[in-house]
Amino acid sequence: MGRLNGKVAIITGGSRGMGASHVRRFVSEGAKVVFTDILVDEGQALAAELGENVIFVQQNVASAFDWEKVVAEAEAAFGPVNVLVNNAGIGAPNKRLEETTIEEYQRVIDVNQLSVFLGMKAVLPSMRKTTNGSIVNVSSLAGMVAFMNQSSYVASKFAVRGLTKAAALEFSQYGIRVNSVHPGSVITPLTTNDLTKEMAAEVNKAIPLGRAAQPEELTNLVLYLASDESSYSTGSEFIADGGLSVQ
C-alpha cells in the first residue's frame, strides 16, 4: 500500500531537479499529482512518462491568477487537494546588498516568497474539504543561517520559514499541517550549473558528511511530511544539510 494512497497533491517547480524527484515518488506512493513549472517541454515529457495520475500545468508561481487555475484544474481532475509542496524557487545573483538592484531583489522575493503565500492562500478552500491536509514549504539552509552576498535569497528563505509558522497556527483549526524543509547543498541543475568540479569539491569539504545530497534524499523528507506519518508535526523546520549547520 502506498504511503500517499488517495491523496491529491500539487507540486510546484516539478519539471526537473528536486521537484521532478518529488513528483515521481509521490506517484509511486499512490498520489494523484498536479505539478507545475515554467519549463514546459520538460514538464510535458515527465507527465507523459508518468501516465494518467499526473497532470502538468504551466504556471508563474508569482501570479494569483495562475494559482487559481492550478487549484481548479486539480479539483476538476482529481478532487480536493490534500497536499501542497511549494518547491519552486530560484537562486540570487552573488552580489553584496549594496550592489543588488531593486529589480533583482524583487524577482527573488516574488518567486521564492510571494509564491508560497499565494499557494497557501489559493489551496486553502480546497484543502478545507479534506480532513488531513499537509503543506510543505521548501525553504533552505539559508532560511536558518545567513550567507555572504545573498541578501535577497536569505531574506526570501527566512520569510518562508516565518510564513510557515504563521500559517501553521491559522490552519490548525482545519486539521491542516504546515511545515518547512531546509535543504543544504543538493545536486540539481539549479545548484550545479555554475559550479566547476573544483568548486563543488571545495563546498563538500565544509559538509560534515562530505558530500551534497541527492534529490531523492530530500524527497524522502518531503514524502514523510506529506504523509499521515507526520500527523503530529506542524509549524516546524526540518533541516537536511549533511550536518553543515551544526558547526
List, by residue number, the catalytic residues: 153
Triad 92, 87, 209: Cα angle to 5° = 75
Task: Return the C-alpha cell found at 232.
Answer: 503530529
SS3 (DSSP) at 155 = helix
Q: What is the Cα–Cα distance from 19 to 219, expressed in whole angstroms?
A: 8
| E strands, the chain, in order | 8-12, 32-37, 54-58, 83-86, 134-138, 177-183, 237-240
- Cβ atoms within 10 Å, residue 125: 12
Bridge partners, 134 (sequence order):
83, 177
Distances (CA, A) of 55 to 32, 43, 46, 128: 8, 9, 9, 22
